[in-house]
A and B are shown apart, each in its own frame.
Chain A
């Protein structure tokens, strides 16, 4: 702390903008770099998805041979989870959390820069496998023995190393966010006045700290198996193949909440603002978030029902249980919109689209919690449908909502609303066209992770539909990219508080100065800016001139 006070003032000496971005420790710049890098990985992962869908549009081999196909779906899943959704949410958390709690920066700004810079380089490490004999091909879950040295080459080692580094980044980021939330809240910002987005980031960070190291231990064991003759997952040498599944899913299930909780937080910021109402049941929402975090560690073996090695009733019941707090949230959101003064901006449309899609994903997840149904649906396209409904219809829709909602804060410019609505309409239709048919394919028995299917299986029509839907999604993303590109060339017209919002990030300029705030409103509720505008609350005492520029 003493050292930061001695550091030179912003603009003390001239630096090039590139140098400034490469060396920055400003949470806002780091957040934007996180988001940009995540969007780039999203494009790469998306192209792989389109390649997969193209191959599946017809029986036989047209576009990807089986080897490349296996690499494509493995890297698609890995990229989307570890290099798109996680860093994207970390990026929004980085940008928004210090602003929402009235802090000047993160608790450990240099560690923050480290956690960001690990991401693109671990991604490069992972993708270098394409040039070094082929990428990992055992699925994003890399089940043993498929991922053991006997069946998988260098690509698998690079996968392990890439994810290990990615995990280091996640853990450091989580520590940083927790320390920031616990220690840097502005006066008056008590825990029960934290914006919901901050609460969801808090619980997510706890999940990261407890779940990611367990994955790391599994990655290390697999690496030792593959490279130093270890026997962890090799039954022939006395090890246990199912052990990998336990270790992986002990991480993997909290991971799905890591991917969705901040998305819940985003939706809980957007819905109240565009409904002109406070979030319905703030405390219930916080409690539901915490219980999802706790229960999330007790459901991992529902991914392993068919191994016959887990206690089915326990994991079935806990899985049903965890849908309760999620249902609570659904009612919170609907009740927030109920009789609100709704404004259907693009961000709001994506939030409502999230509710619709996530509801379907949540419901078919609860179906799979029932063991007899799970035995029938395990490893079919039903599962692919379920996970995409919650991850794409859920997390990705929330990320789109966040992009439209916070873009004016980050750049001072509105994304074009007309293009935005076109983007939403195409993406919403595309999402359901792609993923809804997969339910039916799953029920009719189509397995996941196959490159070919029999022409007489009766699966082609639905596959064509899904492929057409995926092209629509691809086109919708092009609209978004054009929108961002065109907007960034336009004038800054957004102003400080363009949405008439509630939380502190809108109480400063757009984009905010390096030190975030000149003055803060008094914080007497979870909506300090609303209180300032409508509740008669005043500003907190202003800073003496010259202060406040030391992040």
Chain B
């Protein structure tokens, strides 16, 4: 990273080399993990809002206007399975590039991208369905919470898909290798985060209700 520290390592006692920048986690990956921590807290704020409102309603939940029902889109199971398995696929791709397999990386990331797009397509159908049922961002606290939480998650999925697309386009020009693929690590970590948030959203909004 820095010429200063690089040069100073030469003939230094081992004790003095402690804390040197070339050991441990890669700086860029650390930055991504810290960023993900802040993202987790953003969603934590939304979840806290959800549960503190829900606690006030007890069994009268979801709180919706008279005559409106929250019917679950059965496709949500498929979409959840797709998103969950996409985490496995992206991890497999990461494993391939760690071994220097560029083609494996590209294939895995192309597949992950498709799975992410499929999830977004599900979300579009879900929103249409809910709109037909009369549930929307305005008008009810359940609608506000539901659309804000899933909406921000969807935006993060889109961000992840864009990130994967960038990795894919760089991967297709052969920019990654077994030694040099920190961007792949970072985007994979981000994708896992998006996936885990969805697990909590699925359990909260569709299973627990």
Which residues does A use to contact B, with CB under 8 Å? 1, 102-105, 107-108, 111, 171, 174-176, 178-179, 182-191, 209-218, 220-221, 224-225, 228-232, 237-240, 243, 246-247, 250, 515-517, 520, 522-523, 540-541, 543-544, 547-551
Contact = CB atoms under 8 A, between A and B. Distances in A.
A160 to B, nearest CB: 14
A541 B63 CA distance: 69
A107 B27 contact: yes
Contacts of B24: 183
A185 B140 contact: no
A176 B48 CA distance: 28
Contact of A238 (B1, B11, B141): B141
Interface string B17-57: 11111001101101100110111111111101100110010
Contacts of A213: 38-42, 44-45
Given A238-B141, A243-B52, 12 more contacts: A104-B3, A108-B27, A186-B4, A187-B9, A188-B19, A209-B37, A232-B53, A232-B144, A239-B141, A250-B45, A515-B4, A548-B4
Contacts of A247: 45, 48-49
A188 B152 CA distance: 44
A191 B144 contact: no
A247 B39 CA distance: 16
A230 B53 CA distance: 14
Contacts of A551: 2
B208 to A, nearest CB: 18
Contact of B21 (A176, A183, A240): A183
Contacts, number: 189
Contacts of A228: 137-138
B159 interface: no
Contact of A178 (B11, B34, B138): B34
Contacts of A103: 2, 4-5
Interface residues of B, number: 53
Given A103-B4, A213-B39, A185 B19 contact: yes
Contact of B53 (A188, A209, A240, A543): A240
Contacts of B49: 217, 221, 232, 243, 247
A102 B138 contact: no
Contact of B144 (A209, A218, A230): A230
A230 B146 CA distance: 11
Contacts of B2: 103-105, 184, 550-551
B7 interface: yes
A114 to B, nearest CB: 13
B45 A216 contact: yes
A515 B3 contact: yes
Contacts of A215: 45
Contacts of A105: 2
Contacts of B1: 1, 104, 107, 183-184
27 contacts: A1-B1, A103-B5, A108-B28, A179-B27, A182-B30, A184-B1, A184-B21, A187-B19, A188-B15, A188-B16, A209-B37, A210-B41, A212-B41, A213-B38, A213-B44, A214-B45, A217-B42, A217-B43, A220-B152, A224-B144, A228-B137, A231-B144, A238-B53, A243-B49, A247-B45, A515-B3, A517-B4
B144 A107 contact: no
Given A187-B12, A190-B19, A247-B49, A230 B137 contact: yes
Can you list the 7 inter-chain pairs with the closest CB atoms, starting with the nearest? Answer: A229-B138, A217-B45, A238-B141, A213-B42, A213-B41, A104-B2, A188-B16
Contacts of A189: 19
Tell which of B12, B18, B56, B63 has the most Cβ of chain A within 10 Å: B18
A523 B16 CA distance: 7
B10 interface: yes
Contacts of A548: 3-4, 7
Contacts of B9: 187
B134 to A, nearest CB: 14
A175 B19 contact: no
Contact of A224 (B38, B56, B137, B142): B137
B183 to A, nearest CB: 12
Given A104-B2, A209-B38, A175 B45 contact: no
